Amino acid sequence: MTDETVDWLLRRVAAYCRRRRVRTFRFIFHGGEPLLAPPLFYRHFVEQAKRLLPAYTRISFALQTNGVLLTNDWCQTLGELDIRVGISIDGPADVHDAYRVDHRGRGSYARVVKGLRLAQENPALRYHPGVLVVVDPAVDPKLFLDHFVGLKVRVLNLLLPDGAYHKLPPYLEPASGQTPYGDWFIGLFEEWFQRTVTDRPQIRFFQQIMNLILGFGGASDTLGRSANLFLVIETDGSIEAEDSLKVCQPGITKEGMHLQTHSLEEALTAPLIAQCAASRLTLPKACQHCPVREVCGGGFIVHRYHPDRGFDNPSVYCRDLLKLITHVQNRLMAVLPASLVAEAGVRPLSFEQALTLINAPADGQPSSLVE
């Protein structure tokens, strides 16, 4: 991204924050690999952001890296600029190296772990690095958790593989009724939930589900019922919707929006961007009677896509999420004080009961959960 594009971006953000009296605004440096840009880029960006955005707007910065280029010098720079660091590691070496390879086909696990340890040990970084994992249900949940505990990871962010009805994620066959991801998540949840606080990392996915079940909030772009005001700025200055949508069809995120010609408010009115922003508020028809809709929020919009019906479909992970959420709900009921459960309005709900409620809605018209 050129300095000119950065300037356009920050001026657009500053104008948006002033017009909307925005109190918090978050920048996430992503890629590709963001550490291919020089340190000077980040110094310029952060300094300009602090200069241009209004004083009442609290700015935060995060960077998601594959970790192979992390050095002590990088950690020093990122720490000085107060940029939080996230590192992508998909599990033990054999799992990670199956997909994350260099141009010679060599696995990157050893280099990523080296970068992680540098970031964990460098005093310049104020925040412990989080780890982002694209989950693989073929990995034993206990070995998975033990692996990250062994790496002294404090925060784990779990990501479902991108996929849609015409490009199903690995292991998933919705028509079969099987729930490979739900079963895996339940196994991991039980292993995680039973450990002491000092012997387990934070897993935000589970924490968000628990908070939402108990009515404490905690919505994200993949859970809960809140607006998802999130924009992607490409290196050429194009303004686009969630980049994972590219799995749906080629060019789907190209809506003719650009920093030089459109304000952020105008960009948020583009059809797909607006649909993404409202995706957790406007649920697919099949989700209207789901008993866990306030937690699931209809699932991630990318996972709803069907080439013939657009986004008005339940997530391809619908059964998996339903099975996990009902399990967590019942698990909480078994261990929390009865007064807290009563205050939250939580009641027992089995996976089978939830399926019955979804397939026999109040208007008497059956709705198909998945194809």
**Is residue 255 situated within a structural domain?**
no
Beta bridge partners of 101: 107
Number of domains in the chain: 1
189 assigned to some structural domain: yes
For residue 41, is it within any domain? yes
Which pLDDT does position 365 carry in this prediction? Answer: 43
pLDDT recorded at residue 312? 95
- Tokens linked to 208: 């968000």
For the whole prediction, is pTM greater than 0.85? yes
- Domain harbouring 96, CATH code: 3.20.20.70
pLDDT in tens, the chain (371 residues): 999 999 999 999 999 999 999 999 999 999 889 999 999 999 999 999 999 999 999 999 999 999 999 999 999 999 999 999 999 999 999 999 998 988 889 999 999 999 999 999 999 999 999 999 999 999 999 999 999 999 999 999 999 999 999 999 999 998 888 999 999 999 999 999 999 988 899 999 999 999 999 888 776 778 888 887 899 999 999 999 999 999 999 999 999 999 999 999 999 999 999 999 999 888 999 898 899 999 999 999 999 999 999 999 999 999 999 999 999 999 999 998 888 888 878 888 899 999 888 876 555 443 333 32
Contacts of 196 by beta carbon, 8 Å cutoff, 6+ apart:
none
- The closest alpha carbon to 285, from 312, 305, 304, 319, belongs to 312
Q: Are 301 and 276 in contact (CB under 8 A)?
A: yes
Is 111 a domain residue? Answer: yes
Q: Say which residue the tokens 């110094």 belong to.
A: 43
What is the extent of the structural domain holding 48? Answer: 3-213
Establish if 148 belongs to a structural domain: yes
pLDDT at 255: 96
In a domain, 295, yes or no: no
Those residues with Cβ within 8 angstroms of residue 199's Cβ, 6 or more apart along the chain or in another chain = 149
Spatial contact of 138 and 172, defined as CB atoms under 8 Å apart: no
